Amino acid sequence: MTTDHWTTIRSLVTWLDQQNGRDQQEITLRLLKLTEESGEVAQAWIGTTGQNPRKGTTHSVEDVADELCDVIVTAAVALASLVDDPAGHLNTKLRRIAGRPRTP
């Protein structure tokens, strides 16, 4: 995420804090929101594949991509609600992941 992305994420966190506060219950709900968004990804993918014969094809790959973006934003909001430097934390994690050995 670029600095501009984190500016947007911080503004979302500020808005949520103003609306709901940021106590332990609110943090819990922000974390649980990830489960909801992940379920929407699954629902969209099932709809893309037409796996449910009763419903048929109900979603597109673009719908799945949109839902994945919702997961990313929701995770970033949760992260920014927990740590003072979410961008730094994410960068450190990505460096660790990039440094892991890969096997073919």
3-state helix, strand, coil in the chain (%, to 5): 75, 0, 25
* Measured distance CA(80)–CA(12) in Å, rounded: 10
* Measured distance CA(15)–CA(69) in Å, rounded: 19
**The pLDDT value given to residue 2:** 72
Share of the chain above pLDDT 70, in %: 100
**Per-residue pLDDT averaged across 43-69, rounded?**
96
